[in-house]
Amino acid sequence: MTNLAANPIAPDAFDLDAMLGDLRELVEIESPSLDVDAVTRSAEALAAMIERHLGGTTELVESPVGPHVHWKGGGTPKVLLLGHHDTVFPMGTLAERPFDVTDGVATGPGVFDMLGGIVQALHGLARLDDTSGVELLFSSDEEVGSHHSRELIEERATACGNVLVLEPSADGGTLKTGRKGCGTFEVIVRGRAAHAGLEPENGINALVEAAHQVLEINRFGDESVGTTVTPTVATAGTTDNVVPAEARIRVDVRVESADEKQRVEAAMAALSPAVSDASIEVLGAIGRPPMPESASATLFPLAQEVAPGIDGIAVGGGSDGNFTAAIGVPTLDGLGAVGGGAHADTEHVVVATMPERAALIANLVAAIQS
């Protein structure tokens, strides 16, 4: 083992069967967000796995949504490896789609997003002589907005000064050098119920008002600056012979700049009724600020030094790296598993890439610490 960039760790230094064994262990626990008992079991197993590979003591940081998992190397902190151990799949998914490895592809709930990235990082760090400047933080609520972990994430990112995010890679192993800011709004339209056949004129049709709002909201996007504003879910009414008294619209927003964040939030807040006597309430915000490509300006070239030929790309999805980049901490994302199908039944990891990604993490951490 070595910690010198002049003697990089090679992919053949890793035991792939052992990596797959650890991946199976984490996948088979199941850890859906907001299921505190399940997330607690996941945190305890992950803490034990960290200690088995890296030694030391892992702290479980309690929260209302289950424990965050935090490990420190013990020296002056230089780099935070950031991820999450909650997954999007409900309990019982494992019975329908058990962990499996067939034809070089690992499948199962959470393998790609992002349990594979956690396993690769642990095996990579275990090959280093010196991890004293390393911290690990795996939150329990990333998939539901990181409301109970954001403060801790920002605190440890500031203390460490560099952040490597273990979210899945882009296509083919490409790193993520930037991310859009993202958020969800809900527009609540309130009207007044009335009999749809006998006296519709006495009602205030919330569905008609919602239709006006959807058309207005759909105008807020601006492709020229990478802003998307997309009405995604709408509900209204109770039965087919009643004028709808309430309607709700969900809106997905993605922006590349702080200026666009402010513009879209202001436009959503300024929505006004088109139907007389209807009322509107707007909830939500762009909770994850943009991660500009400048955030990875120091770390991405370092990754290219230790892994020549690796590419980077800015993407639309958000992660906890958005938070660390927004407070000015150098951040590089997409260092996790190579595969695809995040949040879908097709979720998978290309098994042959796991040692390569473990080596990437090990050599990048060594370079940051040197």
Q: Encode pLDDT of 18-35 as tens digits.
A: 999 999 999 999 999 999
HEC profile of 279-315: EEEEEEEEEECCECHHHHCCHHHHHHHHCCCCCEEEE
Q: What is the pLDDT of residue 2?
A: 38
| DSSP helix/strand/coil, 178 | strand
pTM for this structure? 0.90
What tens digit of pLDDT does each residue of 45-61 get?
Answer: 999 999 999 999 999 99
At the second CATH level, the architecture of 181-288 is 2-Layer Sandwich (3.30)
Residue 95 has pLDDT above 80, yes or no: yes
Task: Characterize 224-243 residue by residue with b for buried, 16 or more Cβ atoms within 10 angstroms of its Cβ, and e for exposed.
Answer: eebbbbebeebebbeeeeeb
Catalytic residue (choose from 22, 35, 86, 167):
86
- Residues 238-277: pLDDT tens digits? 999 999 999 999 999 999 998 999 999 999 999 999 999 9
Q: Cβ distance 140 to 67 under 8 Å? A: yes
Each domain of the chain, given as residue ranges in start order, spans: 11-179+291-369, 181-288
Q: CA 9, CA 2: separation in Å to the nearest integer?
A: 7
Question: How far is residue 188's CA from residue 252's CA, in Å, rounded to a whole number?
Answer: 15
Q: What is the pLDDT of residues 268-319, one digit of tens each?
A: 999 999 999 999 999 999 999 999 999 999 999 999 999 999 999 999 889 9
Integer-rounded Cα Rg, in Å, for the chain is 23
Handedness of CA 178, 181, 184, 190 (dihedral sign): negative
Tokens of 118: 């956690």
- Catalytic: 86? yes
Q: What CATH number was assigned to the domain covering residues 11-179+291-369?
A: 3.40.630.10
154 labelled catalytic: no
CA distance 60 to 70: 6
Catalytic one of 113, 142, 265, 347: 142
